[in-house]
Amino acid sequence: MIIDKLYENVEKKSCLCVGLDVSPEYIPESIKAKYNTLAEAIFQFNKRIIDATFDIVSCYKVQIAYYEALGIEGLFTYMKTLKYIKSLGGIVIGDIKRGDISSTAKMYAKAHFEGDFECDFITLNPYMGFDSIEPYLEYVKNKNKGLFILLRTSNPGAKDVQYIESKDNKKVFFHVGDEIHKISKDYKGECNYSSIGAVVGCTYMEEAQNIRNSYKDMFFLIPGYGAQGGKAKDVALYLNNGNGGVVNSSRAILLAYKNYENGELRFDECSRFEVLKMKGEIESAIKL
């Protein structure tokens, strides 16, 4: 199952996930000048960062909105980026956060688990109800695909809905977590984690241990590290002995070159250095 491959990557490499959420202003001017189109410059930027980090990271998360915003050429770049990661034998998470009625969800599932935009995992938003998740399950069962479903997110506005308490004094996100956990049990791999996991932001440290203890056998996609304020000590609480989740960082890695003199010329090396730095910080926090 795909979750076994991801678990093994974390064991062999690290729990790090590079987020290729690439905005045009992130691209060094020297790279923009080298290629005829912005779309091609973004792909080459992605390719060099992938090549520089592939031996260290467990997977890549590609946020589709950054590519949709550039129109057809942007979606072509999204497709090329996915296919390049797959050509290396890597694991790719399509960060699409879809959530819609069943008939529409079937089309989203087909779009992102088949054809040009095929990914290993995709992110989904369950807050429209769990019938919106059902059309994806056949791909998890029969096509070796996986899901990361939003449980508790890292943005400040998460508290507007996810933190509302029910009559039993239980926050909404725990009700969502219980449902994800219930569904996930039918899709477990040999590693004892399921190919249906949850997105859990690492920016609210106070609930970390409670969430991890409540869902011990659930695999987490953990955003919020770096630019969003998450620290290594926060991340360590969401992991199980260094596994059981992947930690995403985007801007801190993509823009690492801005921290170094002449970094623009070797932006990929700067990204690699940032990944190694993150890896060391998280591993030290896990040991503590």
Reported as a pLDDT band with limits 50, 70 and 90, residue 26 is very high
The secondary structure of residue 27, as a DSSP letter, is S
Q: What is the pLDDT of residues 44-77, one digit of tens each?
A: 999 999 999 999 999 999 999 999 999 999 999 9
Yes or no: say if 62 and 93 are a contact pair by the CB < 8 Å rule: yes
Number of domains in the chain: 1
Position 206 pLDDT exceeds 80: no
Count of other CB atoms within 10 angstroms of residue 100? 15
Q: Which residues on adjacent β-strands are paired with residue 211?
A: none
Nearest-5° angle of CA 270, CA 275, CA 281?
Answer: 125
Rounded Cα distance, 175 and 173, in Å: 5
Q: What is the pLDDT of residues 94-103, one digit of tens each?
A: 999 999 999 9
Mean of the per-residue pLDDT values for the chain?
92
Position 227 pLDDT exceeds 60: no
Question: What is the set of active-site residues?
Answer: 97
**CATH number assigned to the domain comprising residue 210:** 3.20.20.70
Tell me the one-letter amino acid at 249.
S
Parent domain of 221 = 2-287
